[in-house]
Amino acid sequence: MNLSAIVRRVSIYRVSCASKVSCDSRMTCDSKMSRDSKVSSFFGVSVTVAVLLGVIGFTAWPLTLTGQIPASSTTTYQPEYIAIQQSNFQPTYQPEYIAIQQSNYQPNYQYTDQHTPPFILARPASRDQPNDEHPPGTVTLYDPFDDMDLLVNPPWSGDTVMFLHQTENNHTFLQLQAPEGASKALLSTPDQTVFGSWSWQYQPGFQASNVNRAFLVLLSDRPDFNYLDGSAWNGYAIRTGENGEEKRFRLVRFDAGNQAVLLTGELAVEQGHWYQLTATRSPEGDWWLDEEDLTLGISARSGPVNDQTHVQSGFTGLFLRFTSGNRSAFRFDEFVIRNLQPFQPVAVQAEGSFRLLVEFSYPPDVVNARPSMFLLDGVMQPLSVESVGEEEGQNLLRLAFDEPLSDGEHQLQVQGLMSALGDSVENGLISFNVSNPFQIQSSDFRREFVDVRFTVPPKDPATLPGTRVEINSSEDLLISVSDNDSLLWRFVPSTPLPTGESQIRFTGWTDKDGFLLTNPTVSGWVLDEATSRDVVINEFFYRVPAVWRTETYPRPAYIELLNRSGKLLNLKNWTLNGLIFQSETDLILQPGDFAVITQGVSVFYPIFGVQPYWEAEQFPGLPLTTPGIIVLRNDAGSVVDSLQYVPSLWGGDGVALEKTDPNTASADQSKWRPSEASRAGTPGVQNSVYQEDLDPPKPLIAEVLAKPASTQLASIQHAPTQHASTQHAPTDMASAKNSTTFLSTSISTTINTTSSGIEIRFDEFVQASENTTMELDGVLIPAGQWELNNGRHLRVYSSEVKPAYNHRIRVRQIEDVAGNRLGEFLIPVAQPAGPGDLVIHELMADPLTDAFDGKPDQTEYIELKNTRGYALQMSGLQLRDLPDENGVEKTLYPVGDEDRWVPAYGYFVIYPEVDEVPFGESLFARAYLRHPDTERHSARIERSTLGLISTGKTIRLYGRGRVRMDSLTYSSSWHNPNVTQTKGRSLERLDAFAETNAGWNWGTSGGVTGGTPGEENSLQAMQPSNAVSHGVQLTPQVFSPDGDGRDDLLTISYQLPETDYLLRIRVYDEQGRRVRTVTEDLAAGSIGSVYWNGFDDYGLKARAGLYIIHTEAYNRAAGRVRYYKNAVAIAVPP
């Protein structure tokens, strides 16, 4: 019968011969086919071919065709196909099929077990030929498991005891045979293939799932593939199924033990089927997955997908996961790896001047390598060829020459060299460059010596004739090499080197391999040592306009440094905030030079042009909204300059911050201004705000400090926006029960109260001169009892400092950082204010604002008076309203009052002003005539108004530590009735020592500008020290209550012999009629004053004339009564 059977191609075929043949590790078979060879078959050889008869209408069962091939027939092997030829047996070769045709050939059909692997006709040769599906490749690993030995050829490791070799139908394969209790198995073998194909035959005897599947590991960076127990391996594998109905083969990538699917196959994973699975990766990184169901005779290909995540490999193998019922249900066969990279030289590197290190794409055949296989530049063969050892690399050969290699381009021709896998070199011509490694790596020029570090150790110059070294043309040197470092050499000149640039020159110096020094002449700078403030921060731009920002530099910034010293300095290895901004090259700064350290030269160059920019290797992040620091340190780690900036106080939004004078202290905020330049900065040139500092420092306040050992408990309530630390002196020790930031609405805190010294604060940073001295109340203070602290603070420690005492301190010969000296000053020492020390003395509640009267608009203000004979500290003041129905108090806090004080019996003004402007430009200063000292004895509320009401309200005055000073509930009815227009006139207090809320103690100001803020009130009330002795005295003798601010009030001053009297004062006219009762049952004390404003009990103005003031002082319990009568006249104004 005629038979035409089309056999679907399988990846590898085997010849089953009557006589057994063997293959070595290179796949060269005895009596078998080599690449592209013809082999005569033996007579009587039985050839077995798997045939799928479904093509010709038979049921799809695997069959065995058995026939006899005559001795005259020949078999021709081509890549992956066998053509059987005989006189009456004509095969037809097609790319994917073998056609067997004959007229009188009677095959013997034998049904085989469906689960038996198909027999194959031949093992592969060492190199495949190209075809459409499989690129060429060299077999780097092949294991058909016929030798039944997992320990050699190739050597497997891992759970080898869990596998055994099974033979069915004269065919051997590998099968899992795990012991009871096992659930995982692993086999690995070394292999470095990263571009090629990996092929397995595989049969699952179970339904695949997540806990019953195999990972055919293609390449891995480690032999442990057990990701389930934490192996973080990297590589690729074919995964054979998962949970669910759609069970597929998938190509997966492992990243640190985590899987990512790259390709999903098209064939279902079926129980009991044999599969041929091949993964291929091209040198370009394209992956394919080929699947063939050998049981059903169907195949599919997936891909390509490009992935080059992992390009190194050391191992390949298997990882199995299974349940107890599937401990022997995995079968594997025919494992083949082909490398797709050609064997060729890939890199050449010079090792000294006589040796080359040649790297190949994979290991060469070292045993058979010969010098004649290598030719350098077409003329020179090496003297020897040797392996470098496995530790350095299996892919390397070392070539040694008898002549030194010259610098420049070279070519090496490799011919006839075989790889360890048996293929010959391809593309054996490679170009490379020899670069002389012998160079001066670095040099360090000092006055006493020059240190030179070479890249490789020099040869001893004493052994080389004609060598010499010169420094600045002088050979008078001592030469030595470091005992611990052969690269470091020291050259000591006979005389110290001068400041500036010097040069060292080498002649004839070579390294131990014969290379001449490539840079025999180097220059360096002999530099000065930098000390504090030799280099200063002179400008910095931390927040550029948004339009300047780029994707590369989203936050460009620069810091300008200035060498203000007369020294030659090198900023190499200096740091900004601990970050080295220049380490590769010298950054020489001449006296007066700028260096603009930046992050973003490309941003600033188009704006500012050519400037001394240095793109920083590392640049500190400068905060945009929170406080930031800039600390400049030299290469020894010493601080050269520093500052701390607060964006909300310093400014700098969209504009550089510039120093007014580089000779002043960088940390002094008062010496910085926003740039006034049109381009928002002046990097590398003089600052736009430059103004030479010629003014000496000014003392702002001298105040009593507190002893840390003496404390007093105070309670701070309802101050949610005020730092408790500002409620007491700068050195006070405070502890909060519920807050570390002192921002709680209720804090119990401990505040120091006992004096231990004095602190003087200046308007700028100061320093002592050699002639600085201090006196407290005329007594010299020893130098060890005073110190400078925090730049602008001068502290004096003395046991003579007493509370509530009028101390005065004198300082001589102190100067600012720029060197401006203050010859001498005398300043009173301010004491902490206590209850009653400060009283409300004047207020403008109804200011006059008229845009057309030609006068400056008035503002509200409140004047306070110091009732003590010593200066008082004014920090921490608060103005409060009465609590509302919810207990909330409206509180006003003066700003910038830390350095404010008020002299003994002096005045202090609180005024509103929204903007921070110089005092002379404020609305308050322009509206009122004022005392020259008002500026230093005043404080601003950052508001447009103080919230005063013309008709009256309550004002409560509190001091530091929430000490209540005074409380006033004023009324517009307190104005002088004779003054018809009270708008624009303040209420003035008559007597600071009399009752605050007595209407008679207040009157309308007669000041020219509507008030007298900061100076004595116009109503000219007298102090108690002017009161009469034992009796009553009237001042003035004639008064005119007309509201003109002069002699409007009558002061009735009294002094009594005892303190327990009550006082009744009445006024009578010339006819003896009672006009006014001034006081009734007033607890008088021993001394005091009361006032009559010239009005009667009905609020009518008394007529001009003579009046009798009748004063009665009595103590009825003791039976004491004293009477006084005085006359006074009310005059008619002219």
Say whether both 217 and 326 belong to one domain.
yes
The helix, strand and coil proportions of the chain, stated in percent and rounded to the nearest 5, come to 5, 45, 50
Q: What is the pLDDT of residues 1091-1112, one digit of tens each?
A: 899 999 998 999 999 999 999 9
pLDDT at 18 > cutoff 60: no
d(CA 842, CA 1006): 12
Whether residue 101 contacts residue 91, with contact meaning beta carbons closer than 8 Å, is answered with yes
Contacts of 422 (CB under 8 A, 6+ apart): 26, 28, 126, 138, 365
Say whether both 322 and 200 belong to one domain.
yes
Say whether both 288 and 383 belong to one domain.
no
Say whether both 981 and 1031 belong to one domain.
no
Higher pLDDT, 298 or 754: 298
Averaged over 325-352, what is the pLDDT? 92
Domain count, the chain: 8
Look at residue 686 and tell me if it is in a domain.
no
Say whether both 667 and 619 belong to one domain.
yes
Say whether both 860 and 965 belong to one domain.
yes
pLDDT at 429 > cutoff 90: yes
Range of the domain at 398: 345-434
Look at residue 536 and tell me if it is in a domain.
no
Higher pLDDT, 184 or 1084: 184
Averaged over 921-950, what is the pLDDT? 91
Q: What is the pLDDT of residues 98-128, one digit of tens each?
A: 333 333 333 333 333 333 333 332 233 333 3
Say whether both 660 and 714 belong to one domain.
no
Averaged over 1016-1045, what is the pLDDT? 73
- The per-residue pLDDT for 732 is 35
Domain boundary among 387, 409, 434: 434
Say whether both 229 and 174 belong to one domain.
yes
Say whether both 189 and 296 belong to one domain.
yes
Say whether both 154 and 300 belong to one domain.
yes
Q: Which helix (H) or strand (E) holds 1105?
A: strand 1105-1115
Domain boundary among 339, 372, 397: 339
pLDDT at 289 > cutoff 80: yes
- The per-residue pLDDT for 855 is 85
Listed residue (340, 216, 209) closest to 282, CA to CA: 340
Look at residue 1095 and tell me if it is in a domain.
yes
Give the lowest-confidence range in 167-181, 679-693, 918-932: 918-932
248-255 and 235-240 beta bridge pairing: antiparallel
CATH label of the domain that carries residue 1051: 2.60.40.4070
Look at residue 1010 and tell me if it is in a domain.
no
Write the CA distances from 887 to 447, 587, 723, 882, integer angstroms: 76, 64, 21, 9
CATH label of the domain that carries residue 386: 2.60.40.1220
- The per-residue pLDDT for 932 is 84
pLDDT band, residue 1029 (cuts 50/70/90):
low
Contacts of 547 (CB under 8 A, 6+ apart): none
Say whether both 586 and 508 belong to one domain.
no
Instruction: Sheet containing 89-94: give its strands across.
Output: 3-8, 97-102, 89-94
Averaged over 305-321, what is the pLDDT? 95
Look at residue 1019 and tell me if it is in a domain.
no
Question: Can you list the positions of beta strands (E) in 548-698?
Answer: 557-563, 569-570, 575-576, 579-580, 588-589, 594-599, 613-615, 628-633, 639-645, 657-659, 672-674
Write the CA distances from 1083 to 609, 1032, 1113, 1115, integer angstroms: 81, 16, 10, 10
Listed residue (811, 853, 540) closest to 698, CA to CA: 811
Look at residue 398 and tell me if it is in a domain.
yes
User: Quick check: bond before 404 cis, omega within 30?
Assistant: no
Domain boundary among 434, 452, 487: 434
Say whether both 868 and 815 belong to one domain.
no
CATH label of the domain that carries residue 645: 2.60.40
CATH label of the domain that carries residue 167: 2.60.120.200
Averaged over 932-960, what is the pLDDT? 93
Look at residue 126 and tell me if it is in a domain.
no
pLDDT band, residue 136 (cuts 50/70/90):
low
Averaged over 647-662, what is the pLDDT? 95
Look at residue 130 and tell me if it is in a domain.
no
Cross-strand pairs, 834? none
- The per-residue pLDDT for 60 is 33
- The per-residue pLDDT for 512 is 85
pLDDT at 689 > cutoff 80: yes
3-8 and 97-102 beta bridge pairing: antiparallel
